[in-house]
Amino acid sequence: GAVVSQHPSWVICKSGTSVKIECRSLDFQATTMFWYRQFPKQSLMLMATSNEGSKATYEQGVEKDKFLINHASLTLSTLTVTSAHPEDSSFYICSARDRGSPTYNEQFFGPGTRLTVL
Amino acid sequence: AQKITQTQPGMFVQEKEAVTLDCTYDTSDQSYGLFWYKQPSSGEMIFLIYQGSYDEQNATEGRYSLNFQKARKSANLVISASQLGDSAMYFCAMRGVNTGKLIFGQGTTLQVKP
């Protein structure tokens, strides 16, 4: 199946700093990528939908100025957590759909990035 | 609006036995897809099985089968011949054709006992 990578896999930062997480589709073009957030032992919560070349669409309750999403190419989307605080500590997972795949219905997930804000 | 409900926070099953994980959903979309994912402790999301709302046959993938009952809006996952490696969190998810967004249920933690 298609492969989605994320970098970094984990990051620890001080409160008030910004952190950028990269999501790449390695062997397919992803016109749409999705960013999820997951707290321990809880469900994945969709934060935003990222479309290549246009502004991301954020879910209700997600601060767009805090979670900046950029989808500059068909294989790369980035999530920047600005002025991070301890409550932003979470597991962030990106996902993408391969529109060129016969298994179009599948949605492929990156391995996730664990963010810890001190 | 779309909603996915998994009412079993945790389940135990004996190795080699079958187990059913429950999932109910609600949507106003006429066309939608239902998914099951496995999330081991490493955090990766592993796609297991997919069922389209217009598919007449229940989906099967190896030891996984999806018991789709459209009128009852349920999409239960059946794992046959459980293995120790099946211990993980399992998520039911749905994507409506109108929203295009994949949303998840609360998840069920499955533990397989030797």
Phi, psi of B53 (to 5 degrees): -65, -20
Quick one: average pLDDT of A63-77? Answer: 92
Q: With an 8 Å Cβ cutoff, are B47 and A106 in contact?
A: yes
Q: What is the mean pLDDT of residues B11-33?
A: 95
- Per the prediction, chain B carries an average pLDDT of 95
CA-to-CA separations, B35 to A97, B14, B102, in angstroms, rounded: 14, 25, 9
The first and second tokens of residue B114, run together, are 């030797």
Judged against a pLDDT cut of 90, whether residue A78 lies above it is answered with yes
Residue A46 pLDDT: 96
Model pLDDT for residues B41-67, shown as the tens digit of each residue = 999 999 999 999 999 899 999 999 999
| Closest chain A CA to residue B91 | A43
Check whether A51 has a pLDDT greater than 90.
no
Using DSSP's 3-state secondary structure scheme, residue A97 falls into: coil
Give B55→chain A minimum CA distance, Å. 13
Q: How far is CA B7 from CA A2, A12, A55, B100, B104, in A?
A: 31, 34, 36, 25, 13
Comparing B76 with A97, which gets the higher pLDDT? B76
Q: Residue B50: which of A97, A111, A88, A12 has the closest Cα?
A: A97
Shortest Cα–Cα distance, A56 to chain B (Å): 13
For range B82-97, the mean pLDDT: 95
Instruction: With CB atoms and an 8 Å threshold, state whether B45 touches A95.
Output: yes
Closest partner CB to B43 (pick from A91, A106, A108)? A91
Which of B56-60, B88-92, B95-99, B101-105 has maximum average pLDDT? B88-92
How many angstroms away from the CA of B80 is the closest CA of chain A? 22
